[in-house]
Structures are given as C-alpha cells and as structure tokens.
C-alpha cells in the first residue's frame, strides 16, 4: 500500500482528481489532506471524499514534530496540489525526493515567489507567450526550483485571456498529474 499526503491551499481540483483516480486502486490511498487555509474549498472536498484533514498554522508547520507526525502516518509521497507555503527544511530532510509540486507554467519561466494560480496566467498573457504548460517537479527549499520530473505544453492563441489559459492548464493538470504520481510510486 502506497500512502499519499496531499497539501492544499485553494480550490482542490487537483486533490479531487487524484483521489478519484486512485479510488479504484487498492494499492494507493490518499491518507491525509494537509491544508493551511481554513477557507479553502479543498477542505470541503477532503471531507466529502472521506479523507482525514489536517489543518496547519505556521507554527505547527515549521515545527519538526510535524515531520514526525507525517512519518507516523507512513506517508510515501507528499503531493503539493496548489499549496502556497514554502516547505520547511525539516520536511525536506524527512522526505528526501518524496515531495513533489505541480506548477501551472513551463518552469523555469514564471516561477518563484508570487507566481501562483492566476498571477502566472496573467504574466504569460502579458508576455504574449505562444505556449504555456505544466511542470511537475521535486521540491527543495526554494520556490519552484527543484528537479523537473515532467512537463506538458499547450499552444496559446493571441486571443486567449488569463481565464482561457487557466482552462487549458486545468485540462493538462487533470490529465497528467495522477499518471505522473502513479509512475513515481511504482516505477522505482
């Protein structure tokens, strides 16, 4: 049995997709959802999906005891799915190469602090990019700069608004994120 911890801050569409994708698979379980935002719709999704929800504040997150807590849940892979806080060193050390993030652009472009969600798509449109995409990467102590595992691209048209770009990226995320997670869990 492989056990995932999914970290969220927002809407939770990736969480929903991951949970539904693995639901028929007896070898994978979303063991917990970790949320830093009491208003995140992802929290409601976790409840609806019957997944234990762990709420964190900065203090709990930055304390090494939080790593111990996740270790005691036998987590195999931590998946950041729209989670917006920097990951503390103790967690990176406790889960080496076992924390991944999805970013809604083709890193290294449009990454780093402040580049999240809609801000990314607005910057992509403002720069008249001909394409955008998603990047799934390992997490280190800096925003959006760990080794890249997977990227997928989509063509943009001159007329695309940030909302249009977001819709295209959403499709790429829904298609690819669970498959990349599955590969990481079973291909090594």
Among all residues, which ones are annotated catalytic? 103
Tokens of 124: 């992509």
Closest residue to ligand GAR: CB criterion: 82
Whose Cβ is closer to ligand GAR: residue 71's or residue 171's?
Answer: 171
The least CB distance from residue 132 to ligand GAR, in Å, is 11
Quote the CA–CA distance of 70 and 143 in Å, as a whole number: 22
| DSSP secondary structure letter of residue 63 | S
Tokens of 40: 């995140």
The least CB distance from residue 109 to ligand GAR, in Å, is 13
Applying CB under 6 A, which residues contact ligand GAR? Answer: 8, 10-14, 42, 81-82, 102-104, 116-117, 120, 169, 173
Query: Beta 131-138 vs 99-103: how paired, if at all?
Result: antiparallel
**Measured at the alpha carbon of residue 172, what is the angle toward residues 170 and 173, in degrees to the nearest 5?**
65
Residue closest to 121 by CA, chosen among 10, 27, 129? 129
The least CB distance from residue 12 to ligand GAR, in Å, is 5
The least CB distance from residue 172 to ligand GAR, in Å, is 9
Whose Cβ is closer to ligand GAR: residue 67's or residue 101's?
Answer: 101
Quote the CA–CA distance of 139 and 172 in Å, as a whole number: 20
Whose Cβ is closer to ligand GAR: residue 14's or residue 67's?
Answer: 14
């Amino acid at each position: 049995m492989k056990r995932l911890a999914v970290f969220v801050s927002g809407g939770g569409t990736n969480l929903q997709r991951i949970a539904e994708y693995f639901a028929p698979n007896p070898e994978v379980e979303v063991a917990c959802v970790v949320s830093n935002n009491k208003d995140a719709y992802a929290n409601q999704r976790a409840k609806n999906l019957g997944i234990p929800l762990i709420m964190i504040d900065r203090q709990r997150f930055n304390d090494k005891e939080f790593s111990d807590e996740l270790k005691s849940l036998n987590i195999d892979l931590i998946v950041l799915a729209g989670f917006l806080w920097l990951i503390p060193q103790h967690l990176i050390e406790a889960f080496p190469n076992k924390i991944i993030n999805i970013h809604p652009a083709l890193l290294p472009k449009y990454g780093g602090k402040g580049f999240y969600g809609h801000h990314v798509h607005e910057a992509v449109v403002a720069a008249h990019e001909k394409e955008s995409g998603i990047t799934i990467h390992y997490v280190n102590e800096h925003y959006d700069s760990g080794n890249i595992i997977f990227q997928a691209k989509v063509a943009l048209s001159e007329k695309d608004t940030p909302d249009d770009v977001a819709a295209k990226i959403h499709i790429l995320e829904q298609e690819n994120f669970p498959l990349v997670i599955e590969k990481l869990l079973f291909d090594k």
